[in-house]
A and B are shown apart, each in its own frame.
Chain A
Amino acid sequence: MRLALVEDNVELASLLSQGLKAEGYETDRMTTAADARAALSTTRYAALILDLGLPDGDGLSILREIRQRRDPLPVLVLTARGGLQDRVGGLRHGADDYLIKPFALEELVARLEALLRRPGQLLGRSLQVGNLVFDTESRQASIDDRPQMLSAREVTVLELLMRRKDRVVPKKLVEDHIFGSSGEVASNAIEVYVHRLRKQLSERGANVQIHTVRGVGYLIAEEKPA
């Protein structure tokens, strides 16, 4: 899968492309806005990683041009500016996501995968946390490649959690998915499902942990070796 990486710092660009290569992505590197425009007009990329600070122009103008063409190319913005205006501005101009420097390569890869996994994008359908894998198409969970039987509601909860691995899934979101936004919700219904799911996964040897963030929601993460 080929990605466009527009980053004026040659050293960083080279390190990122090495890191991405290790994850199975080929990258074309551009250091100026002009190069980026030229490359984007001739090549079809899976996604664009765009640094906002470029020597010959603002990265945001490239982003604007892409969106004016109604090009659905997923764009992940890298920015050294973390200011209020910059962030809001970046998303308003059509960035799909942004990362503030310094970021971990892991984080970049994770965000990229999330973008590529969106409807109509190119990445495969399976989500993974530790030894737990979830196939979004067949809605099948497996632990160490052994398929697991789970109830429909447990599957819904698990999918939500795994789609937002290492991030909190608000309880409200889970409620909406299970009961619909208008339905009456028994106050502890979600707790019950999560409790059951947690128990099932742990009994079947998944090395994942579902954390409760009281008053907020739930988060799935790989279990830390004690």
Chain B
Amino acid sequence: MTSFKSIFARIIFLHVIAMVITAMFMPLVLYWFMKSSANDLHQQAMRDQGELLGAHLALDANGRPTLDLPPALRDLYSQAYGRYAYAVLDGSGRVLFSSRQDEAPIFPRAVQSSEIEFLETRQGDAAISGVSMQKQVGGRTVWIQVGEDLAHRDVIIDDIVAEFFKRVAWITLPILLLLLASDIAIFRRALRPLLRASEMAKLITPKRTDVRLSGQDIPSEILPLVGAVNQALDRLEAGFRVQREFTADAAHELRTPLTILRTRIDALLDRNVAKVLHKDIEGMARIVSQLLDIAELETFSIDRAEQADLRALCAEVAELAAPLALAQGKSIALSGTERPVWVNGNAEMLTRAVRNLVENAINYSPAGTTVEIVVDKEGTVHVLDAGAGIRDDDRELIFRRFWRQDRRRSGGAGLGLSIVARIAEAHAGTVGVENRPSGGADFSLRLRRIETPIQAQAVLAG
């Protein structure tokens, strides 16, 4: 049998099969029932007529049987009417009385037994059906035969049975089709809550683990499944939460010991050693911050109404990163449009993305060079450095977690660019990298600009 993916198709398919079988057999069975009950009625009528005839049989003074029919009965059996006929035979098969003029028996081949016998015979156009039954008349045994011509124009029961197929049977087909149509509608209706539940289920992602399937309107047979799925989701969500909280907690817990370490180093007398150790701590602190950023990003989803001024937040990043760059003998500059550039997005997250790009550029560019942040009015930020650039093979890889261009370098775990990529993705934007003709890398973060900012004043970068 064909296997259906859809429970709906399966139900309809089976339903159609059942319907076809019903459509074929139901009229046949009905026909058979009608025919047999018509037959029973006929036989009952014949037997009753036989009994009635028998009641008018008597013996005369000579001991010979006589039949004295009232006029009404005589009319019924008259040749003129021709519908009914009777004959009374004695034990030797000789006809004693008959409604027929030729005095012939109705059923010449009747077996003369004590049992009532139902018989049929044809005489010309007439299809005669009737009984042969034994009767005791004053000690003599006679057989009464009664027959009816079923082909007679007054007999309508046969016509009804015969007409059944022509007139009535075809009605069952539309009725069954109507039933099918209404069942389709019922099934659809019954399955609708399930479809709704699956729409809900589609919303569940690692970032949205709080969605649960609604049990409302769900058929009681399916409800346990929905309940079980929801419970499974609860367990999954708890697992996710533990994992997320672990990352965040671990990062939090690392920060206090790092502060202690840092303060102890501040107290060291050998300033050169202290300086080197400070750098190490800064590197570790950065990884911790990035782990926290990642943990936070896992649950972050952007609010559609949020808007941010890209130009303002780039200026803020330049301000924050300038001391870092200057401390390493490098410089930073902001150029491009001087007007606000409004994009859809969370200012804090976008600030982090740009900051990661800028910090990355500062780390990979040689002393004496300038990291340039260029904001264009279409909603793209370029971060240009004068470093070694990115190899073509690495262009995709650098946005993955824990990937680093130079594994020997310390101070980063290769998380920064993956954070940028994740933030860009959350904002339906893109991040990419090209090599500049003059050498160095050109990282670009493309976001969706909005033509008419809703509230151009309230959203501050950061």
A interface list, Cβ under 8 A from B: 9, 11-12, 15-16, 18-19, 53, 80-84, 88, 100-106, 166-168, 170, 211, 213-217, 219, 221
Contact of A12 among B260, B266, B323, B333 (CB under 8 A): B260
Given contacts A9-B256, A170-B319, A217-B319, whether A105 and B266 have CB atoms under 8 Å apart is: yes
CB distance from B7 to the nearest CB of A (A): 45
Residues of A within 8 A of B323 (CB): 166-168, 219, 221
Contact, CB under 8 Å: B260 / A9: yes
Contact, CB under 8 Å: B262 / A102: yes
Among A11, A18, A213, find the residue whose CB has the most chain B CB atoms closer than 10 A.
A213
For the A-B complex with A211-B331, A219-B322 known, give 8 more contacts whose Cβ atoms are closer than 8 Å. Answer: A15-B264, A82-B289, A102-B262, A104-B266, A166-B323, A170-B315, A217-B319, A219-B326
CB distance from B120 to the nearest CB of A (A): 99
Contact, CB under 8 Å: B333 / A214: yes
Contact, CB under 8 Å: B255 / A102: yes
Contact, CB under 8 Å: B334 / A168: no
Contact, CB under 8 Å: A213 / B296: no
How far, in whole Å, are A209 and B373 apart by their CA atoms in the complex?
A: 23
Contact of B252 among A81, A168, A213 (CB under 8 A): A81
Q: Does B335 contact A (CB under 8 A)?
A: yes
Specify the chain B residue showing the minimal Cβ separation from A164: B319
Q: Does B332 contact A (CB under 8 A)?
A: yes
Residues of B within 8 A of A18 (CB): 267
Residues of A within 8 A of B322 (CB): 168, 211, 213, 216, 219
Q: Does B261 contact A (CB under 8 A)?
A: yes
Contact, CB under 8 Å: A215 / B259: no
A-B contact pairs, 27 of them (CB 8 A): A12-B259, A12-B263, A15-B260, A15-B264, A15-B267, A80-B256, A81-B252, A81-B292, A82-B292, A166-B323, A167-B323, A168-B319, A168-B323, A170-B315, A211-B322, A211-B326, A211-B331, A213-B318, A213-B322, A213-B334, A214-B334, A215-B334, A215-B335, A215-B373, A216-B333, A217-B319, A219-B323
Residues of B within 8 A of A88 (CB): 348
B interface list, Cβ under 8 A from A: 248, 252-253, 255-256, 258-264, 266-267, 278, 281, 285, 289, 292, 296, 315, 318-320, 322-323, 326, 331-335, 348-349, 370, 373
Contact of A221 among B278, B326, B332, B370 (CB under 8 A): B326
Listed from nearest, the 8 A-B pairs whose CB atoms lie closest are A215-B334, A214-B333, A101-B255, A102-B258, A168-B319, A102-B259, A80-B255, A15-B263
Residues of B within 8 A of A216 (CB): 315, 318-319, 322, 332-334
Contact, CB under 8 Å: B259 / A168: no
